[in-house]
Amino acid sequence: MKKILFTVMSFVLATSLLLSGCSKKPEAASGKKYRLATSPYPAFYLLYIAQEEGFYQKEGLDVEVVYFPVYSDSVMAFSTGQVDGIGIAMPDTIAPYINNVPVEVIAMLDNSNGADGIVGSEGINSLEDLKGKSIATEYGTIEHFFLAKRLESVGLTMDDIKFVNLSIADSGPAFLANTVDAAALWEPTLSEAQARPGCKLLTNSEDTPGLIADVLAVNKNLPEEVKIAMVKALYDSLDFYYKNPEKAIKDMAKCADIPEEEMWVAMSGSKLFGPKEGYESMSSKDQNYTALAYDVQEVAKFLYSIKMIESCPDVTGMINAEYAKKVLDEIGDFPVPDTKKY
Q: What is the pLDDT of residue 8?
A: 35
- pLDDT of residue 20 exceeding 70, the answer is no
At 108 the three-state DSSP class reads strand
pLDDT at residue 341 above 90?
no
pLDDT at residue 92 is higher than 80? yes
Q: Measure the CA–CA gap between 5 and 58, rounded to whole angstroms.
A: 34
- Identify whether the C-beta of residue 66 lies closer than 8 Å to the C-beta of residue 36: yes
List, in sequence order, every beta strand (DSSP E) within 121-223: 134-137, 162-165, 182-186, 200-204, 213-219
Summarize pLDDT for 175-209 with one digit per residue, the tens: 999 999 999 998 888 988 988 889 999 999 999 99
DSSP three-state, residue 10: coil
Strand 162-165, strand 134-137: pairing: parallel
Greater pLDDT, 87 or 1 = 87
Question: 28 pLDDT exceeds 60?
Answer: no
Backbone angles phi, psi at 214, to 5 degrees: -120, 140
CB 7 within 8 A of CB 303: no
Q: What is the pLDDT of residues 278-301, one digit of tens each?
A: 999 999 999 999 999 999 999 999
- pLDDT for res 6: 39
- Cβ pair 255, 48 in contact under 8 A: yes
Average pLDDT score over residue span 258-276: 94
The model carries a pTM of 0.85
Asked whether residue 225 carries a pLDDT value surpassing 90, the answer given is yes
- Supply the pLDDT for residue 231: 98
| Closest CA relative to residue 295, chosen from 119, 111, 126 | 111
Element spanning 1, H or E: none
Q: What are phi and psi of 53, to 5 degrees?
A: -100, 5
CA–CA distances in Å: residue 102 to residues 10, 66, 261: 9, 20, 38
Give the Cα separation of 200 and 119 in Å (integer).
6
SS3 (DSSP) at 264: helix
Average confidence score pLDDT of the chain: 90
Question: What's the pLDDT score for residue 24?
Answer: 59
Segment 106-133 mean pLDDT = 96
More confident residue, 112 or 195: 112
Average pLDDT of the segment spanning 237-245:
97
What's residue 49's pLDDT? 98
Which bin fits 311, alpha (ψ -120 to 50), beta or left (φ > 0)? Answer: beta
| % residues pLDDT > 70 (the chain) | 91
